[in-house]
Structure 1
């Protein structure tokens, strides 16, 4: 198990975190008695107004963790505290009043929209289902005004409200998904690879939109991506995941410019460089081990260029190596 207790609030930052995750596990039962640990003992915290990036290779558990944070997927063990309230085992009826404050933007912008319904209906639905903060139902005029405001927020014309999802481009559909996530003025948005299916130029527009909304509305994001350039642009802190656990956690600039974990270093070296004739470091050797039969000791040792006998025998805990950085490595690089 590789965990690290969340950093307690200091005098300079006495406000409790918006999201506090403690020893979180998500295990799937497989045939023949096998188990897959998609999330393996993760602990982290996200403060109000922060953007935490989750990065790692495909299959490392990023999306599963994102769904667990919002209780879209039930967890196997551990705790999730949202705004100080333990939501880990809340039944759906008790969780429903919190749903407006926790929203998600999915990767597939088309599959997450009902193709049979107009955009006005898709955006108005959460406004009709959930009452206001005072428990009142919204009037039709209030809903219409809110829809117009949302269209302006995400940069779409009002005429878009009367159209269907198939009439939009991928980038426009993602703007609609963002508008739907914003409809109830949430505190936290989990964005699950929201730009990975878009063209590079459109990616930049959507990332800029996320950044503008965060600055204007004071939103808190957990931003899932496998593209380090995206994470570098949008996040203030980054958690690097591998086989369901966090390998490195810290300020984005520090982690990506001066990696302390060999896996983080390998990810940064894999980013293409626009330099003709530049010597590229060798890629990661071997394949990602099966999460069903994870290696003993450090889960990265089978691909690590600096692995020692200790790495094969003992799993390193995620430990603080500086004030704002933690790493799960016996022999950190920084």
Structure 2
């Protein structure tokens, strides 16, 4: 790993085994993440996009070892966390945190906000290796409330007393408590109203400018990804189909699936050249029985016989961009 790479996944896969001997159809394997390799550089935001069910959230949880990968390697700050013991992993946890999708379900309704945000501060020792004092925890809580735009009086309230946007700010404060270097934001604005989405997105960007945090930002809203990320990775049926700088990917998509996603985004500027609409046929195949060859060939308007039998590797397309396609758009 180079010094500017904070996180790297190599040939990462995650499978779930469903059913059993007494289930109709027998035991089946769901390939949620299939041979994914990517890097996340320090201080950047990597946007992860794709349709619902493509494996984005599973990949995000694997990157933090919330799910144990079925195969592959994850390097965080040069340490292989796939081989780390429970004790070794606990020492790394303060530097890698997550903001969950549902601000209603991710907060314990029986506990006050101060208790929720203070929990990681009580579980993990301070930088000196000793337990934090109550005064130090109180000062950190006040600092966190200021960072996320909430009042210090909010620490004494319960989660049900807040709006959805405020609850997500509480989740962000909890993730920031231990001063992490990496945060995985899993659809963290999708459950919010549009106006509140903009406020929370601006908060994420402001925190990155002030604290130098690295994000893996998972979303299906391409307008959000374009606003927050410097690089974008596109997933389809558990695999990466395109990665590259966000501006390059959005202006000249290489993979037909990326082109279809971007062509479906409404254009606000009526003076801009009209995009060619790419209409996809059929539904997303089941991850329990993915197609042979290129897994997108069943819906791709450019598919040929080669696509049905030969899986395309991620190939360089110039401008630090890679795409897995035999017949790219560029």
TM-score calculated relative to the size of structure 2: 0.95
> Could you say which residue in structure 1 is the equivalent of 2:279?
283
**What is the match of residue 6 of structure 2?**
18
Cα separation, 1, equivalents of 2:313 and 2:58: 21
**Counterpart residue number, 1:180:** 174
Distance 1:154 1:175 in 2: 6
Partner in structure 1 of residue 296 of structure 2: 300
Any runs of at least 4 consecutive aligned residues in structure 1 with deviations exceeding 4 A, and if so which? none
Shift of residue 50, structure 1, vs aligned partner:
1.1
Secondary structure of the residue aligned to 2:34 is strand
* Cα deviation, residue 257, structure 1: 1.3
C-alpha displacement at 1:92, in angstroms?
1.9
CA contact (8 A) 2:234 2:240 kept: yes
Tell me whether 1:152 sits opposite 2:146 in the alignment: yes
1:183 CA drift (Å):
0.2
Matches within 5 A, 1:154-169: 154-169=148-163
2:185 aligned partner: 191
| Matched residues, number | 322
Paired residue secondary structure (1:222): strand
Q: Alpha-carbon deviation of 1:308?
A: 1.0
* Residue among 61, 66, 74 paired with 1:67: 61
Counterpart residue number, 1:315? 311
Matched, 1:131 2:119: no
Structure 1's unaligned 5+ residue stretches are 1-7, 10-14
Alignment deviations for residues 214-251 of structure 1 (CA, whole Å, 9 cap, x no partner): 01000000000000000000000000000000000000
Confirm or deny: 8 A CA contact 2:244 2:319 kept in the other structure.
no
Q: RMSD between aligned alpha carbons?
A: 1.5
Q: How does 1:107-256 map to 2 (within 5 A)?
A: 107-256=101-250
Using the size of structure 1 for normalisation, the TM-score is 0.94
Check conservation: 1:49, 1:220, Cα contact below 8 A. Answer: yes
17, 37, 43: which is aligned to 1:29? Answer: 17
Corresponding residue SS for 1:80: strand
CA distance 1:224–1:67, change in 2 (3 Å): same
- CA offset at residue 281 of structure 1? 2.2
Match of 2:73, SS state, is strand
Contact 2:96–2:183 (CA under 8 A) maintained in structure 1 = yes
Q: Which residue matches 2:324? A: 328
Partner Cα separation in structure 1 for residue 196 and residue 293 of structure 2: 42
SS at match of 1:191: strand
Q: Distance in 1 between matches of 2:275 and 2:151?
A: 48
SS in 2 for 1:18: strand
- What CA distance in whole angstroms lies between the structure 2 residues aligned with 1:39 and 1:84? 22
